[in-house]
Amino acid sequence: MADGTDEGWRARLRALLPWFGGAGHDVAGKRLRRPFVRSYGRYTSLQFTRRQTQSRMLTDAPDVLLIDYTRTMLGALLLRPRPATIGMVGLGGGSQAKFCYRHLPQARIEVVENNPHVIRLRRRFGIPDDDDRLRVFLDDGARFVSARRGRYGLLLVDGYDETGIPAPLATQQFYDDCRDALADGGVAAFNLFCADALDHVARLRCSFGAGRVLVVGEAKMSNRVAFAWTGSTPAADALQPQRALDALPAAAREELAPVFARVAQAFGA
C-alpha cells in the first residue's frame, strides 16, 4: 500500500486514533469496553471483566504459546510451513503475533484490531513495535480482510470482544472474504469458542467447500479450531509433520510438534 494513496492516509489516521479523541470507540463509532491488565503468579492476562480472560501469557516468557488453542491454530503451518505474509484478525495479548515474529523471520505479519484500548497495551504484553515485518492496524476486521484479496499464505482469525465473536466476523460474507484473502494454496485457522460453532463451520464449508474444512477440538477447553484452505485438499499420506517442523527453529518445533501430529491424525494420516 503506497503512502500517498487515500487508503494509505486513512490507515495512518486510524493508527493515530488511540492517542486522540477516538480512544473510547472503534472506527465505526461503537463504544468499546476498556480492558485491563492483571498480573498474578507467573502470569499476565488481558481481561475485560474479572471472570473473563481474553489473553494470558507467561510474564517471563512472553513469546510462549501458553493457551492450547493458540498452538492448535498454528497447526495450519503443517499445510503451509513458510508463509510469506500472515494476516491476523484480533490482537489481544499478541500471543500468535509474537510467536510468528520470533520464529517465522521470512514472514510479513499484519494484525488488525478494532479496539484502540487493546492496541495501547501492546508493550505490556511484549508485542514488538511496528517495523518492516510487523504492522498492527486499527480497523474493523471484516472490512480489513475484504480489502486484502489474495494476500495471505496464512490467516489466523481470533477476533473476540467481551460478548464473544462479534457479529461482523460471523457472517457468510466474512468467511467468503477470508477465502478470497488467501493466496493460492493458502490456509486459514479460526478459533470457534462459541455456542453456535456448528453454524460457523457450515458457513466455512459453504465458502471453501466441504472437503476443504477440517475441525479439531480442544481436549482441555471448549474451543474448536477450524482449518480451511484454498487449492486441492492434501492427501493424508502427503502430510509430513517432520518436514514442516524442520522449517522451524528448535524452540518452535518443541511447541508445535504435538499439534502437527494431532492435525495430521485428524486428516487421517
Residue with cell 487508503: 7
- DSSP letters, the chain, are --TTSHHHHHHHHHHHGGGTGGGGB-TTS-B-PPPEEEEETTEEEEEEETTEEEEEEETTBTTS--SHHHHHHGGGGGTSSS-SEEEEE--TT-HHHHHHHHH-TT-EEEEEES-HHHHHTGGGGTPPPP-SSEEEEES-HHHHHHT-TT-EEEEEE---BTTBS-GGGSSHHHHHHHHHHEEEEEEEEEEE-STTHHHHHHHHHHHH-GGGEEEEE-TTSS-EEEEEESSSPPPGGG--HHHHHHTS-HHHHHHHHHHHHHHHHHTT-
Q: Does residue 158 have an active-site annotation?
A: yes
Quick one: what percent of the chain has pLDDT higher than 90? 65
Q: State mean pLDDT over 8-32.
A: 52
Q: How many C-beta atoms lie closer than 10 Å to residue 219's C-beta?
A: 6
What are residue 187's DSSP bridge partners? 154, 229
How far is CA 144 from each of CA 110, 148, 202, 269, rounded to the nearest angstrom? 10, 7, 23, 35
**Is the alpha carbon torsion for 111, 115, 116, 119 positive or negative?**
negative
Which is nearest to 22 in space by CA: 154, 150, 114, 132?
A: 114
Q: Which pLDDT band, with edges at 50, 70 and 90, does 3 fall under?
A: very low
Question: Is the model's pLDDT at 161 over the cut of 90?
Answer: no
pLDDT tens-digit readout, 133-159: 999 999 999 999 999 999 999 999 999
Q: Which pLDDT band, with edges at 50, 70 and 90, does 10 fall under?
A: low
pLDDT tens-digit readout, 82-128: 999 999 999 999 999 999 999 999 999 999 999 999 999 999 999 99
Residue with cell 495471505: 152
What predicted TM-score, i.e. pTM, was given to this entire model?
0.86
In the set 158, 176, 184, 246, the catalytic residue is 158
Task: Give the model's pLDDT for residue 53.
Answer: 74
CB 134 within 8 A of CB 97: yes
Lowest mean pLDDT among 36-45, 147-156, 206-215: 36-45
Task: Give the model's pLDDT for residue 269.
Answer: 54
More confident call, 21 vs 124: 124
**Topology given in CATH for the domain delimited by 65-266:** Rossmann fold (3.40.50)
Q: Which pLDDT band, with edges at 50, 70 and 90, does 22 fall under?
A: very low
User: What nine digits make up the cell of 135?
Assistant: 504492522
Residue with cell 484502540: 116
- DSSP letters, 179-246, are HHHEEEEEEEEEEE-STTHHHHHHHHHHHH-GGGEEEEE-TTSS-EEEEEESSSPPPGGG--HHHHHH
Report the C-alpha gap between 9 and 7 in whole angstroms: 5
Per-domain residue ranges of the chain: 65-266
